């Protein structure tokens, strides 16, 4: 008899009692993977006073929520969280465990993987279920997690299969998985878990937390004006900012512009930056490498401005303008202001 496949688990991040978007994205993706495997989607909600978050997880796709509440688990420290997750893995034997590729996920995922002697693939941009035929070792694996991520500096896309002991574990970047609309009629099962923690797991204490709000919110922006290396220099980014101000948009950039020191990394769009899906994306002086296009090609409308008519950015643009942005952008600003 074939061994029963375990369920799909999602580690749920929360901050100040609010579920992180990346966790809701992973619940939606976890539901898709679970449906493919014929198993359940289950959320691990760990912290203190979080019962108000449970219904939201049901609405986005969790069949079961494991609620682990303890005052010692707030704020987050890696040792007790890892202990709780390891105890639950031993008790329930999940097939897949998804973490966000955040500060918490990147700290917690490797520690759990090391303790479990399981594999972990970092910074995935896609996840699929498929069979794997290991011709080298002459093994056939059915319904394995295809862990897809950029490799070699983003120059290739690698598909990784973990044939180690379950769970198959990954961290996933925020914004790459689509968040579906919640179904408020969905119900699920709540399992309250009492953590078994010793003084050894509580050795780390948070003395002080210093929070700094991000200067830019590209994920939530409806209009984005992005500049690339073709802008020509830091001083020329003023044109990008001027157009963004006229349109009420956020300013973004390609990796080349960020690496050149013309703008902060918080503004970077692409495989090594943020994935965005605005209603309008205006690319100024961006050649359109595959790494950049992966972060913005699902924008509702894309306008590209470039002097090179063969630039790859035009392959995903709905409207292309071949010309010097120093001439085109001021004309766009003038035309927009004339309308309003």
**pLDDT tops 80 at residue 56:** yes
Cβ–Cβ < 8 Å for 39, 95: yes
188 plus 291 within the same structural domain:
no
Q: List 233's β-bridge partners, or say none.
A: none
Gap between the Cα atoms of 301 and 198, Å rounded: 54
* Domain-located, residue 26: yes
pLDDT at 34: 98
Closest CA to 224 of 277, 289, 160, 150: 277
Please report, rounded to a whole number, the percentage of residues in the chain having pLDDT higher than 70: 98
Gap between the Cα atoms of 288 and 314, Å rounded: 8
Q: Point out the domain boundary residue: 144, 174, 193.
A: 193
247 plus 138 within the same structural domain:
no
pLDDT at 4: 75
pLDDT at 215: 75
* Domain-located, residue 203: no
- Determine the average pLDDT of the residues in 158-170: 93
Strands (E), the chain: 8-12, 14-15, 18-19, 41-47, 64-69, 96-100, 120-124, 126-134, 139-151, 156-160, 168-172, 189-193, 223-227, 250-253, 280-284, 301-306, 319-322
The enclosing domain of 229 has a CATH number of 3.40.50.1220
* Domain-located, residue 213: no
126 plus 185 within the same structural domain:
yes
**pLDDT tops 50 at residue 1:** no
Q: Point out the domain boundary residue: 193, 213, 245.
A: 193
- Determine the average pLDDT of the residues in 318-333: 96
138 plus 78 within the same structural domain:
yes
pLDDT at 253: 97
* Domain-located, residue 51: yes
**pLDDT tops 70 at residue 153:** no
Q: How would you class 288 by CB atoms within 10 Å of its CB: exposed for 0-12, middle for 13-18, buried for 19 or more?
A: buried
- Determine the average pLDDT of the residues in 72-76: 92
* Domain-located, residue 59: yes
Cβ–Cβ < 8 Å for 197, 72: yes
Q: What is the mean pLDDT of the chain?
A: 93
258 plus 334 within the same structural domain:
yes
DSSP per-residue string spanning 216-227: --STT-SEEEEE
* Domain-located, residue 206: no
Measured in whole angstroms, the distance separating CA 328 from the mean position of its chain's CA atoms is: 34
Number of structural domains found in the chain? 2
Cβ–Cβ < 8 Å for 47, 15: no
pLDDT at 3: 63
60 plus 145 within the same structural domain:
yes
57 plus 96 within the same structural domain:
yes
61 plus 188 within the same structural domain:
yes
Q: What is the pTM of this model?
A: 0.85
* Domain-located, residue 216: no
23 plus 147 within the same structural domain:
yes
pLDDT at 299: 95
Give residue-wise pLDDT tens across range 241-258: 999 999 999 999 999 999
pLDDT at 138: 92
Give the range of the structural domain holding residue 30, as residue numbers without chain letter.
8-193
Give residue-wise pLDDT tens across range 259-276: 999 999 999 999 888 999
* Domain-located, residue 210: no
């Amino acid at each position: 008899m074939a061994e029963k496949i375990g369920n799909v688990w999602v580690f749920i991040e929360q901050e100040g009692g609010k579920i992180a978007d990346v966790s809701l994205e992973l619940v939606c993706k976890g539901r898709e993977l679970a449906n493919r495997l014929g198993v359940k989607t289950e959320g691990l909600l760990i912290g203190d006073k979080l019962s108000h978050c449970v219904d939201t997880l049901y609405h986005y796709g969790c069949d079961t929520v494991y609620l682990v509440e303890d005052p010692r688990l707030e704020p987050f420290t890696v040792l007790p969280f890892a202990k709780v997750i390891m105890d639950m893995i031993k008790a329930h034997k999940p097939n897949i465990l998804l973490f966000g590729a955040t500060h918490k996920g990147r700290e917690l995922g490797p520690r759990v993987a090391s303790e479990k002697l399981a594999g972990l693939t970092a910074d995935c941009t896609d996840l699929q279920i498929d069979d794997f035929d290991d011709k080298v070792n002459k093994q056939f694996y059915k319904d394995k997690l295809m862990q897809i991520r950029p490799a070699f500096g983003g120059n290739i896309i690698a598909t990784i299969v973990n044939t180690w002991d379950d769970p198959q574990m990954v961290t996933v970047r925020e914004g790459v998985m689509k968040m579906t609309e919640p179904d408020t009629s969905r119900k699920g099962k709540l399992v309250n878990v009492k953590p078994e923690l010793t003084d050894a797991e509580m050795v780390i204490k948070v003395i002080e937390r210093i929070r700094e709000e991000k200067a830019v919110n590209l994920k939530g922006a409806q209009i984005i004006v992005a500049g690339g290396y073709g802008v020509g220099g830091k001083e020329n980014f003023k044109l990008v900012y001027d157009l963004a101000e006229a349109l009420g948009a956020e300013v973004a950039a390609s990796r080349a512009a960020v690496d050149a020191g013309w703008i902060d990394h918080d503004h970077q769009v692409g495989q090594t930056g943020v994935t965005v899906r605005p209603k309008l994306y205006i690319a100024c002086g961006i050649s359109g490498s595959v790494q950049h296009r992966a972060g913005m090609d699902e924008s509702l409308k894309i306008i590209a401005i470039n002097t090179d008519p063969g630039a790859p950015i035009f392959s995903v643009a709905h409207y292309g303008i071949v010309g010097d942005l120093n001439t085109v952008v001021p004309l766009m600003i003038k035309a927009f202001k004339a309308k309003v």
